Copies of this chain bind each other. A is one copy, B any other.
Amino acid sequence: MIQTAIMGHGVVGSGVAEILLGHSKLINQKIKDDINVKYILDLRDFNDLPYSDKFIKDFNIIANDDEIKIVVEVMGGINPAYDFVKRLLLSGKSVVTSNKELVAAKGDELLKIASDNNANFLFEASVGGGIPIIRPIAQCLAANEITEIKGILNGTTNYILNKMIVDNMDFESALSLAQEMGFAEKDPTADIDGHDASRKICILASLAFGKHVCPDQVSTEGISNITLNDVEYADSFDCAIKLIGFAKKVKNGHITASVKPMLVSRSHILSDVNGVFNAIMVSGDSVGDVMFYGRGAGKLPTASAVVADVIDCAKHLHSRKYINWVEGSNDYVITTDEKVRLYVYIQSNEYNMLCEQFTTLFSDNTWHIKNDYKKEIAFITDKDYESVLMKKINSIKCDTFKVMHTLF
């Protein structure tokens, strides 16, 4: 009998309890032992549940119980989760979490503590909900040098963008609908401003490239400035606008990392990832591109990933999983000047002058759409260094302009 505890009985926590208690036969068959949920820590009362006798309000009961070998942390947020997890790992208990904020902020430190205390710290559910991604990167692609990771890491923003593309809704209406459907929170900032995706690309980059990346090192841009106009121009260029998390190895042991809306060519499979689905594409030197796709959030998908980690911990109570990365550094994540194609939107009441500037700087051969009525031009530049392109774009005299990266 392996004793476990769950900290937090919110959406994911109740899903974890549901699966651990409801699928116990299936699980026990797999590990040839029994997993028992001894405690559930939550400050709220849940008297009506069939397992209400398991609820406790004092963290110390878990920390001081030597029988407890595995603890699930699904409270979310940095505090008090960080202190709790640290204390548990220091006492040799293994911890499984879905808390991306915690892993993105403190992953390196917690992995080291786990390693020093012969415990496991697993977090498959922190990225992509139920989509297997952490273990495949760490184990299945272990023979590869990973060169790049890019993906649609946030279901809420993908749902909103999809509604704009398919149903011609504007951003505000699509956001309201997402909130009604339960796909966006009341305060949707973390999703629409890209912070959620930023935490996830931190975790993926840390794991794939071996050094910790913090969210404040990731250049992060959300989707709130995307207009129906942009969506329509993108469509004319046979592209869909997607919020893409991106990380890549560059020279001298550095990496770049960003979260930003991009125009993704419809011939790229990431453009076909719709609704609340997530997809993560990993490029390895041997395997080429592999992609992992599924629901990136939701109670049971996320909970099932947590429980898979619990099962793995139970199978490895006395050995260490080889998920690891080391401390990062300030100069580790850099910005580079690479050859790119940019999407550019320019508008000016001095439309003739605008057209002249466009032709002079980019030539009429550039893939472009002119809207004489709205006095605006949208175009996709030829491939060139970003600095060169931005210098040209910044020199255009116009009333408004917008630039987005592309993925062809």
Contacts and interface: CB of A to CB of B under 8 A. Distances in A.
Of residues A140, A290, A292, which shows the largest number of chain B Cβ atoms within 10 Å of its Cβ?
A: A140
Interface stretch (A257-265, A305-313, A347-355): A305-313
A293 interface: yes
A141 B292 CA distance: 13
Interface of A: 15, 19, 23, 26-27, 30-31, 124, 129-132, 135-136, 139-145, 269, 272-273, 284-295, 298, 300-301, 303-308, 310-312, 315, 319, 322
B290 A130 contact: yes
A326 to B, nearest CB: 11
Of residues A23, A31, A144, A285, which shows the largest number of chain B Cβ atoms within 10 Å of its Cβ?
A: A144
Given A272-B269, A319-B319, A322-B30, A290 B143 contact: no
Given A142-B307, A290-B293, A315-B322, 13 more contacts: A130-B284, A130-B286, A130-B287, A132-B141, A136-B140, A142-B308, A142-B311, A143-B307, A143-B308, A269-B269, A285-B300, A286-B301, A287-B305
A164 to B, nearest CB: 18
B300 A290 contact: no
- Counted per complex, copies of this chain come to 2
Of residues A15, A301, A308, which shows the largest number of chain B Cβ atoms within 10 Å of its Cβ?
A: A308
Given A286-B303, A288-B301, A27 B140 contact: no
A143 B294 contact: no
A306 B143 CA distance: 9
Contacts of A131: 287, 290
Nearest to A135: B140
Contacts of A143: 19, 23, 26-27, 303-308, 310-311
Contacts of A306: 143
Contacts of A272: 269, 272
A269 B294 CA distance: 11
A326 B137 CA distance: 29
Contact of A290 (B26, B132, B290): B132
Of residues A303, A305, A307, which shows the largest number of chain B Cβ atoms within 10 Å of its Cβ?
A: A305
Of residues A30, A124, A310, which shows the largest number of chain B Cβ atoms within 10 Å of its Cβ?
A: A30
6 contacts: A26-B143, A30-B142, A130-B290, A139-B308, A286-B304, A290-B295
Nearest to A303: B286
B304 A139 contact: no
Contacts of A26: 143, 145
Q: Which 8 A-B pairs have the closest CB atoms?
A: A132-B140, A290-B294, A143-B307, A286-B304, A130-B287, A132-B136, A291-B293, A286-B300
A312 B141 CA distance: 11
Nearest to A278: B290
